[in-house]
């Protein structure tokens, strides 16, 4: 797309970008998927719409980008549209962007244009129904690669239009080997315990793991101690704090922190709820099921209501009441 | 109700806006198929609805009156209006009057305003629209296909004469002071003035703010929690005449800033959450008739509570400022970086951004002093514990 924003200088220093595979064959772990994808795109004109599911940081987006590069070659940047459903405000925006992008066939010799729609499971079922139409309307010139964490959140009609690939989580050993390779190339000392700590903390998310390793490397070698220092940096720790504050009755304080995350930093409400959910399992609380019930109640209310801030504030207040 | 009793019976009985009235008469006498519809613009209670009904009566049209709440979606508009437009001979001579057109909510999906504009473009019968304001984008589009006639507030001099006439007919008296108060309060709104007068002379003399429409939010919220009975609270609630979202927000921010105990806070916020769900349903389905239940949800907040004070903002000033300034900068950071890292902004800011700032802090990533994001990065680095 012509209006692509310039790369920021800092990004080139990010290891996640530096070591992102550029060919399908370089992708970590997903050997079966990769070999069947490779045969699928041998004759690109036959390529169906694709759907990748699997947890975060296992290579779904990277695989999609590799496919685009392998099929479209030098034109991949101009003939690939990348959208993230959690960023686009409603299906209207998606429709507009896709429509604009797919209106004409490519001017150069490419078999089709590629639309990568990340976090597709973040779309409401209404939006997905609309998406189904969009996929049909643009099939002549475009192929979709849909990416989702959870395939059961994708409506059946869309699933049936795609060839689905389920990405598996990266096993500990393979992840640690990969991290070790990067550490070597960056000339950073890394011991086994440090790497294992990274693996544990990142919960199988390779992107997170590489980021964490880079942050750790900025204070010294990759040791368990150093990893622990860096691991608390992410905003998910803020969500942990918010939960603790709310449960101890500091409602106003926890609410201000929640609003800071969402309104200053731009964490999405659905991500907030996701991290809040996992935060519940990190604390040892006897009323764990009551807590989850409260969260579930307001997760639903956000879908129905008009103002997520109101719903989340009420959620925290109700958690504050639980303890007593 | 005096305001109904003294609703003018003829156009000539009306007061004020003589010029606009004669423009309307001229429009209807010269009306033929294709003549542009007219749009009456002006504040409430100065005779827009009245003149529409009177002119229809005097010129023997069957007036089909619609409120904007009847015509909010495309299908509703077509369902109600198309039969009228198509079957002129069967129905006699119809005329359409659509009140509060500025209240049609312009949600793209429902296409209410667009459907209306299509009808306005080729009118087969006279159509009169009325609105309080003509400044929204939607009104600009409507204005392109209609002739606009403005109605001004009635000047105090005319209001006084009108009021004195009514007092004579009702055989009632009102002190000059009260009369001036009533006229001032009404701000040129005849209906409000007559209502207020009636409540004064029948001995019902609560503070003016509580007695009738246009009560402001701050006084309304404060009066609500100071009310001595639920009925009083209810009447205050109904007289806070602002849009539902502002009403919910006003209670929400007041509740959060009134230093309530946790139990009350949770209970109140749950009620607000319920109100917000109702509002969400209304917005999503455009079933505006559900709005009538909003006040009955909010009334559950009633409790004579001296701690409650109105507040417009529900978060601290430092945070408000951070949202306003830092929030904007961070948003532009993530809109560039998240795309290049193939991530959503939310995921970028949660996972990558903090690590990135940490690397800059430890001088492992180089930050130029002429970097467009230099200030905000410096600020974020200082925040790292």
Instruction: Give pLDDT tens digits for B23-39.
Output: 999 999 898 888 899 99
Around A253, how many Cα atoms within 13 Å sit in the side-chain half-sphere?
12
Q: Between residues 21 and 60 of chain A, which touch chain B (CB distance below 8 Å)?
A: 56
The overall average pLDDT reported for chain A is 90
A208 touches chain B (CB under 8 A): yes
Query: What is the structure's pLDDT at B1?
Result: 78
* Residue numbers of A between 4 and 23 with CB closer than 8 Å to B: 5-11, 13-14, 16-17
Nearest Cα neighbor of A60 from A82, A42, A77, A44 is A82
Share of chain A above pLDDT 90, in %: 66
Q: Which whole number is the average pLDDT over A65-75?
A: 92
The yes-or-no verdict on residue B78 having pLDDT over 60 is: yes
Q: Does B335 touch chain A (CB under 8 A)?
A: yes
By the 10 Å C-beta count (0-12 exposed, 13-18 middle, 19+ buried), A309 is classed as buried
- Structural domains in chain B plus CATH codes: 17-150 (3.40.50.300), 326-384 (no CATH)
For the stretch B107-165, pLDDT in tens is 444 567 777 888 888 888 889 999 888 887 778 888 888 999 999 888 888 888 888 88
Strand B127-131 versus strand B38-41 pairing type: parallel
pLDDT given at position B271: 97
Query: Closest Cα of chain B to A281: distance in Å?
Result: 19
Q: What is the pLDDT of residues B329-384, one digit of tens each?
A: 999 999 889 988 999 999 999 999 999 999 999 988 888 888 888 889 999 998 88
Portion 107-166 of B in contact with A at CB < 8 A: 108
Q: Which residues of chain B does A256 touch, with a Cβ-Cβ cutoff of 8 Å? A: 315-316, 319
pLDDT of residue B286: 83
**How many other CB atoms sit within 10 Å of the CB of residue B353?**
26
Instruction: Give pLDDT tens digits for A189-219.
Output: 999 999 999 999 998 999 999 999 999 999 9
Q: Which stretch of DSSP H or E encloses residue A148?
A: strand A142-148
- Distance to chain A for B338, nearest Cα, Å: 10
Both tokens assigned to A67: 């496919």
Q: What percent of chain B has pLDDT over 90?
A: 30
Mean pLDDT to the nearest integer, A107-134: 87
3-class secondary-structure state, position B148: strand
Rounded CA separation B213/B320 (Å): 32
- At A33-51, the pLDDT tens digits run 999 999 888 888 888 999 9
Question: B167: pLDDT confidence band, cut at 50, 70 and 90?
Answer: confident
Cβ-contact A239, A279 below 8 angstroms: yes
H/E element, A149: none
Of residues A260, A264, A306, nearest to B283 (C-beta)? A306
What's the gap in Å between the CA of A159 and the closest CA on chain B?
Answer: 22
Higher pLDDT, A22 or B124: A22
Chain B residues whose beta carbon lies within 8 Å of the beta carbon of residue A97: none
- Residue of B114, B115, B142 whose CA lies nearest to B129: B142
Residue B69 pLDDT class (50, 70, 90 cuts)? low
pLDDT digits (tens, 9 = 90+) for B275-300: 999 999 998 888 888 988 999 999 99
Confidence band for B184, pLDDT divided at 50, 70 and 90:
confident
**A5-9: average pLDDT:** 64
For residue B70, pLDDT over 80 is answered with no
What pLDDT shows up at residue B74?
Answer: 72
pLDDT band of B211, cuts 50, 70, 90 = very low
Q: What is the pLDDT of residues A232-290, one digit of tens each?
A: 899 999 999 999 999 999 999 999 999 999 999 999 999 999 999 999 999 888 899 99
Range of weakest confidence among A111-125, A127-141, B72-86: B72-86
User: Which H helix or E strand runs over A2?
Assistant: none
Most A CBs within 10 Å, among B109, B307, B355, B360, to test the A interface: B355
* Arithmetic mean of pLDDT, B40-52: 86
Which residue ranges form the domains of chain A, and what is each CATH number? 2-14+170-233 (1.10.8.60), 30-166 (3.40.50.300), 237-322 (1.20.272.10)
Provide mean pLDDT across the span B60-80: 73
- Dihedral sign of CA atoms B5, B11, B17, B21 in order: positive
Name the pLDDT band for A136 (thresholds 50, 70, 90): confident
Residues 280-299 of B with CB under 8 A from A: 280-281, 283
The whole-number average pLDDT for the span A110-132 is: 88
Residue A176 pLDDT:
95
> What's chain B's average pLDDT?
84
Contact map slice: A 146-185 vs B, CB within 8 A:
none
Backbone angles phi, psi at B105, to 5 degrees: -80, 125
B323 in contact with A at a CB cutoff of 8 Å?
yes
Q: What is the ipTM of this complex?
A: 0.90
pLDDT score for A4: 43
Distances from the Cα of B74 to the Cαs of B65, B100, B137, B141, B142, in angstroms? 17, 16, 18, 16, 15
* Spatial strand order in the sheet of A142-148: A80-84, A113-118, A142-148, A49-53, A162-166
- The pLDDT assigned to B305 comes to 84
The tens digit of pLDDT for each residue in A280-310 reads: 999 888 899 999 999 999 999 998 888 999 9
Q: What is the pLDDT of residue B262?
A: 94
- Write the burial class of residue A212 (CB in 10 Å: 0-12 exposed, 13-18 middle, 19+ buried): buried
Average pLDDT over residues B190-199: 81
């Amino acid at each position: 797309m012509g209006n692509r924003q310039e790369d920021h200088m800092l990004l080139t220093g990010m290891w996640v970008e530096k070591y992102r595979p550029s060919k399908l064959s370089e992708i970590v772990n997903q050997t079966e998927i990769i070999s069947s994808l490779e045969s699928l795109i041998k004759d690109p004109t036959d390529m169906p719409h694709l759907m990748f599911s699997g947890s975060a940081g296992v290579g779904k987006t990277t695989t999609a980008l590799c496919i685009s590069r392998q099929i479209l070659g030098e034109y991949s940047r101009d003939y690939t549209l990348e959208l993230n459903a959690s960023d686009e405000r409603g299906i209207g925006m998606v429709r507009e962007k896709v429509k604009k992008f797919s209106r004409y066939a490519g001017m150069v010799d490419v078999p089709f244009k590629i639309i990568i729609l990340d976090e597709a499971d973040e779309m409401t079922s209404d939006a997905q129904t609309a998406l189904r139409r969009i996929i049909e309307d643009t099939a002549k010139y475009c192929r979709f690669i849909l990416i989702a964490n959870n395939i059961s959140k994708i409506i059946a009609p869309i699933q049936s239009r795609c060839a689905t690939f389920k990405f598996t989580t990266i096993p500990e050993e393979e992840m640690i080997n990969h991290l070790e390779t990067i550490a070597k190339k960056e000339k950073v000392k890394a011991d086994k315990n440090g790497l294992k700590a990274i693996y544990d903390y990142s919960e199988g998310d390779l992107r997170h793991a590489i980021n964490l390793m880079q942050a750790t490397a900025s204070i010294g070698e990759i040791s368990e101690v150093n990893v622990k220092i860096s691991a608390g940096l992410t905003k998910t720790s803020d969500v942990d704090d918010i939960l603790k504050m709310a449960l101890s009755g500091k409602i106003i304080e926890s609410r201000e922190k929640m609003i800071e995350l969402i309104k200053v930093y731009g964490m999405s409400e659905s991500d907030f709820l996701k991290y809040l959910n996992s935060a519940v399992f990190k604390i040892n609380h006897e009323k764990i099921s009551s807590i989850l019930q409260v969260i579930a109640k307001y997760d639903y209310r956000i879908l129905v209501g008009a103002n997520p801030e109101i719903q989340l504030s009420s959620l925290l207040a109700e958690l504050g009441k639980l303890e007593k | 109700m005096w305001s109904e009793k003294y609703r003018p019976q003829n156009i000539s009985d009306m007061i004020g806006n003589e010029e606009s009235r004669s423009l309307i008469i001229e429009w209807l006498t010269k009306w033929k198929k294709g003549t542009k519809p007219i749009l009456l613009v002006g504040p409430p209670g100065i005779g827009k609805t009245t003149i529409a009904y009177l002119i229809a009566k005097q010129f023997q049209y069957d007036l089909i009156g619609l409120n904007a709440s009847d015509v909010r979606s495309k299908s509703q508009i077509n369902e109600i209006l198309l039969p009228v437009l198509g079957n002129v001979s069967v129905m006699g001579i119809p005329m359409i009057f659509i009140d509060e057109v500025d209240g049609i909510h312009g949600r793209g999906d429902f296409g209410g305003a667009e459907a209306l504009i299509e009808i306005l473009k080729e009118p087969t019968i006279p159509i009169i629209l009325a609105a309080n304001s003509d400044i929204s984008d939607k009104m600009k589009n409507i204005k392109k296909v209609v002739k606009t006639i403005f109605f001004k507030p009635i000047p105090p001099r005319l209001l006084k004469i009108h009021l004195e006439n009514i007092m004579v007919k009702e055989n009632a008296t009102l002190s000059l002071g009260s009369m001036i108060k009533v006229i001032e309060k009404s701000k040129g709104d005849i209906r409000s003035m007559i209502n207020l007068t009636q409540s004064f002379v029948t001995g019902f003399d609560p503070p003016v703010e509580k007695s009738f429409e246009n009560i402001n939010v701050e006084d309304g919220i404060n009066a609500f929690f100071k009310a001595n009975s639920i009925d009083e609270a209810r009447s205050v609630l109904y007289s806070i005449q602002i849009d539902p979202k502002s009403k919910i927000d006003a209670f929400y921010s007041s509740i959060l800033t009134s230093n309530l105990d946790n139990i009350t806070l949770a209970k109140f916020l749950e009620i607000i959450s319920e109100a917000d769900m109702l509002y969400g349903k209304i917005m999503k389905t455009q079933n505006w008739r559900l709005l009538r239940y909003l006040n009955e949800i909010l009334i559950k907040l009633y409790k004579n509570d001296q701690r409650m004070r109105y507040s417009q903002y529900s978060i601290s000033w430092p945070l408000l400022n951070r949202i306003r300034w830092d929030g904007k900068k961070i948003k532009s950071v993530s809109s560039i970086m998240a795309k290049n890292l193939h991530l959503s902004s939310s995921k970028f800011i949660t996972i990558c951004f903090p690590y990135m700032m940490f690397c800059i802090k430890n001088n492992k990533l180089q930050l130029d002093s002429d970097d467009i994001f230099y200030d905000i990065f410096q600020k974020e680095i200082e925040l790292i514990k």
